[in-house]
Amino acid sequence: MLLKRIVVCLDVIGERTTKGIRFKNNVDVGDPVVMARDYYLQGVDELVFYDITASAEKRGIIIEVVRRVAEQIFIPFTVGGGIGSVDDMKEVLLAGAEKVSINSRAVRNPGLIEEGASLFGKQCIVLGLDAERDATMSSGYRVVIDGGRTPTGLDALSWAREAENLGAGEIVLNSIDADGTRAGYEITLTRMISEQVGVPVVASGGAGKIEHIADIFEKGKADAALIASMVHSMGYTIWEIKKYLSERNIAVRTDCYTDL
């Protein structure tokens, strides 16, 4: 049976990794390449790099990070942030990333999902979806863009479905309300989206305890759980997270510790 995935997210500014609360107050936590290698050796299933200050002149830095990561970790990884064209996608994929993640730019130009999927395959195109509670929306959640700053009139569930139809192969679903709170993932939102789309959903935002990860798999029906500060700064290890999940009978990859 398909195993539940633990995905570690590294927010990259220049050559450093940071962790912020609700996209603000970013704190430096280390070199992304070294961190990626350590998480890989600890048994992480997948990595996501977000180039959070992506700009034309700094573009080369993330590409260099991707290239160095690809040379020494042999698990899938995704790159997001500042990807606005199929040329940007191509650059990141050729540097060694498995997938690219698009968020605000997909909302502004949904054709980008379609174009990327037809050129590189659906499995390469990840939709980053930031959702925020909004009682006026039929699903109860709206889509926000620009790192949580700009609300849109889009309903989160309709956008997830539309993106799937356009060719998104996976959705990283981030709850703006839960992000950075360490009080747990938003289960209602995750379960709703996961049950109504046919592509894998990676839950993001709010993890602070190992139990939260078990909950998002069991109650939230997530296919993968994204974590950041738990391992970057709160002292948890991938190893103990996987051990706990296995004890709760959640099937995860635990055979990754043999040093061959």
Q: Does 260 bind other proteins (CB under 8 A)?
A: yes
**Which residue out of 45, 51, 88, 130 is catalytically annotated?**
130
Radius of gyration over alpha carbons of the chain, in Å? 17
Q: What is the DSSP letter of 253?
A: -
Catalytic (active site) residue 11: yes
With CB under 8 A as the contact rule, which of the stretches 10-18, 21-29, 78-86, 117-125 interacts with other proteins? Answer: 117-125
User: Closest distance between other proteins and the C-beta of residue 89, in Å?
Assistant: 11
User: Closest distance between other proteins and the C-beta of residue 175, in Å?
Assistant: 21
Q: Does 196 bind other proteins (CB under 8 A)?
A: no
Q: Does 25 bind other proteins (CB under 8 A)?
A: no
d(CA 202, CA 103): 14
Q: Which of 98, 134, 146, 162 binds other proteins (CB under 8 A)?
A: 98
**Which residues have a Cβ under 8 Å from the Cβ of 81 and sit 6 or more positions away?**
12, 49, 50, 51, 52, 54, 62, 101
| Helix ranges restricted to H, 11-142 | 32-42, 59-72, 86-94, 104-108, 111-120
Indicate the SS3 state at residue 73.
Answer: coil
**Interface pattern 152-191 for other proteins (x via CB under 8 A):** -----------------xx---------------------
Of the pair 40, 236, the CB lying nearest other proteins is at 40
Which pair of tokens denotes residue 88?
A: 């940007």
User: Closest distance between other proteins and the C-beta of residue 150, in Å?
Assistant: 30
With CB under 8 A as the contact rule, which of the stretches 9-17, 87-95, 184-192, 207-215 interacts with other proteins? Answer: 87-95
User: Closest distance between other proteins and the C-beta of residue 21, in Å?
Assistant: 29
**β partners of residue 225:** 6, 203
# chain residues binding other proteins, by CB under 8 A: 35
Residues 231, 8 contacting (CB under 8 angstroms) = yes
Residues 22, 148 contacting (CB under 8 angstroms) = yes
d(CA 47, CA 227): 10
Amino acid at 7: V
**Which residues have a Cβ under 8 Å from the Cβ of 246 and sit 6 or more positions away?**
252, 254
Amino acid at 225: A
| Orientation angle between helical segments 156-166 and 111-120, nearest 10 degrees | 40
Q: Does 199 bind other proteins (CB under 8 A)?
A: yes
User: Closest distance between other proteins and the C-beta of residue 1, in Å?
Assistant: 6
Q: Does 220 bind other proteins (CB under 8 A)?
A: no
Question: 81-113: buried (b, 16+ CB within 10 Å) or exposed (e) per residue?
Answer: bbbeebebbebbbebbbbbbbbbbbbbeebebb
With CB under 8 A as the contact rule, which of the stretches 57-65, 68-76, 135-143, 237-245 interacts with other proteins? Answer: 68-76
Q: Does 250 bind other proteins (CB under 8 A)?
A: no
Catalytic (active-site) positions = 11, 130
- Contacts with other proteins by CB under 8 A lie at 1-3, 5, 40, 43, 45, 70-72, 74-76, 93-96, 98, 120-123, 169-170, 198-200, 223-224, 253, 255-256, 258-260
